[in-house]
Amino acid sequence: MGHFHRLLAQPADTHLIDLGPYLHEIARSAISAMSSPDATTLDPMACKTCELSNSQALLIGLIVGELVTNSVKYAHPAGVRGRIRVTCEPTGAHSAIGVEDDGVGFPEGFDPSIDGGLGLRTARLLADQLRATLTFRSGPLGVIAHLLVPAEPSTSRTQIHLATPPGVPGSASPV
């Protein structure tokens, strides 16, 4: 679990993080902390380069960690071997992150937009903080969580140009 927390605490001077390897390692750490070595398999990631700011990556990492933890805990209550897949793909002005399992799906009547324990409520709050949408699809072949994160506004400096009155080099006109 300590390794999991260290992953989430990336150095602040790292401006952009490629989410693919980052989220794969978070998912692998969550699985190894929550299950026996052969109980859950993490599928290899098939991600395109998906770079986001350190602040966005941290929140996304927390969300993915919670979703993977829930998959490990609830997808296979009978204890059969399970699979989890984490995906990340840039889609124009957004990044699409997915967490899928091959379990039993949500219980009848369970609404992930309002129900759930502390972990799922935390994931929803973090998604709100990112101005992202977190949706779920559940069926007999598992749960698919889909997080759509808008790109963060550019961090480049805004340039301000002050007009200099004609004939006065370098001075501003009085107001």
Q: Give me the pLDDT at residue 45, please.
A: 78
Q: In the chain, what are the domains?
A: 2-150 (3.30.565.10)
Nearest to 78 by CA among 104, 106, 109: 104
Mean pLDDT is lowest, of 22-26, 122-126, 150-154, 170-174, for 170-174
Q: In this predicted model, what pLDDT tens digit does every residue of 81-140 receive, in sequence order?
A: 999 999 999 988 999 999 999 999 999 999 999 999 999 999 999 999 999 999 999 988
The H or E element spanning position 24 is helix 19-34
